[in-house]
Amino acid sequence: MASMLEFFNSFTPPRLFVRYSRAMRLLPVLLFLASLYGKAQPRPWWLNLPAAPLPEKILSGRTAVIYMPGITETDLTALHQRLAQTGIDAVTYAEADRVFASDEVTSAFAAHFSQREIASLIFVVHRENLWHLTVTAFTGSPALVPGNQPAWHVADSRLAEALNALYRTALNQYRRQNWLIADVPEFTKTISLFTGNRNERFAYDLKVDGLAVEKTGEAAFDAALEEIMQAYPLKYKIVERNTPVAELRRQGLTYVLRLVYARNIVLRELLGYAVNPGENALTSVTFSNGQEQIKTLPAHAYVYKVYVRHLDFGHVYLGPKWDADTTWQQALMNFIFGMRTDMRIN
């Protein structure tokens, strides 16, 4: 896609965080929100890709399927079986909020897909009583779909009919070469997200080393960000987005602040926490007026989580307690006050 911002624009909710709504559309970690399943679902960006024939390797290479949360296992099984009959070797399935939880997460999935020699991507959406299938090539781009990359599209009120159209088109265009295809779909829930060590604690080196906090370029959001960061008691600097690491290091910055966004249980899986699939709610630590409180959030509520990453070695520091929250502002305050409490900083 042209940029991650286009993706997040597609899923900005109409009523959440009114004061910062325009700014949030530009936050490169904003994805799906509670209105995702409402009647007025925004149109996913991949449905706007220009039309093209199916990718050349759709019947000869491997395919990854990215689907919107909420599609049932029964429908996914039927989808996989029909893809196999077509000759499409769908070797991995992943939910869209899992793949697009942040730019870094998307890049990690892209690396994972490259390692698995993925040649094509299929996006599956069920919205407004229509099933949409979008098929495009995977070129190894960290954004998964770069620029205005063309794609093949079909939409139908019945999943079976949309799959029949894919079947006919694929076999009319190409000769099937995939024959050894798994009978059931394989779901990817965790990948190698971090290049360094994963730590469930705060980075005590922040008492000496500076923290880089990236702007979004949107004045309203950046103003709110700067206001909240005033509660951060250690050395930090608000920097332009995509500032080279060498320049950040020259400015004395060693760590960078990171924010991820997805369903509660999905974020825990992505970040390497133990998860009970049957859990309906998760406990989170939050702060009000600087005082620690415990709150319970639904396992499938969409939440934000803040952590820091070492610029040189990739080590990540998640904090000793799960402190995800339903707004980015509160998640950031949870991180700041949790660190102040843990490090005994006034």
Q: Is residue 185 part of a domain?
A: no
pLDDT cut 70: percent of the chain above it: 88
Rounded CA separation 290/286 (Å) = 9
154, part of any domain: yes
Angle at 189 between CA 184 and CA 193, to 5 degrees: 140
Mark whether 53 and 86 lie in a shared domain.
yes
CA distance 57 to 48: 22
Give the per-residue pLDDT at 12: 35
Q: Across the chain, what does the average pLDDT equal?
A: 88
Mean pLDDT of 111-130: 96
In a domain, 88, yes or no: yes
133 is a domain residue:
yes
Average pLDDT over residues 66-91: 96
Q: How many domains does the chain have?
A: 2
Do residue 166 and residue 245 come from a single domain? no
**Closest listed residue to residue 266, CA positions, set 294, 298, 296, 310:** 298
pLDDT at residue 8, as a whole number: 38
The Cα 81–Cα 125 span in angstroms is 17
Structure tokens at 105: 């997460």
Q: Confidence band (pLDDT; 50, 70, 90) for 272?
A: very high
Domain region containing 304: 198-342
Q: Residue 42: what pLDDT?
A: 63
Percent of the chain surpassing pLDDT 90: 78
Same domain, 255 and 329: yes
Look at residue 11 and tell me if it is in a domain: yes
The answer on pLDDT for 93 being more than 80 is yes
CATH number, residue 41 = 3.30.160.100
- For the stretch 1-47, pLDDT in tens is 333 333 334 433 322 222 333 333 333 333 333 323 333 446 788 99
Check whether 220 has a pLDDT greater than 50: yes
Domain boundary among 124, 158, 173: 173
Same domain membership, residue 292 and residue 224: yes
**Residue 314, CA distances (Å) to 158, 318, 338 in order:** 45, 13, 22
Q: How confident is the model at residue 278 (pLDDT cuts 50, 70, 90)?
A: confident
Phi (first) and psi of residue 262, to 5 degrees: -170, -175
Tell me, yes or no, whether 330 lies in a domain. yes
Domain-located, residue 222: yes
* 232 and 92 in a common domain: no
Q: Tell me the pTM.
A: 0.85
Model confidence over 229-249: pLDDT tens digits?
999 999 999 999 889 999 999
CB burial readout 249-280, b (16+ within 10 A) else e: eeeebbbbbbbbbbbbbbbbbbbeeebeeeee
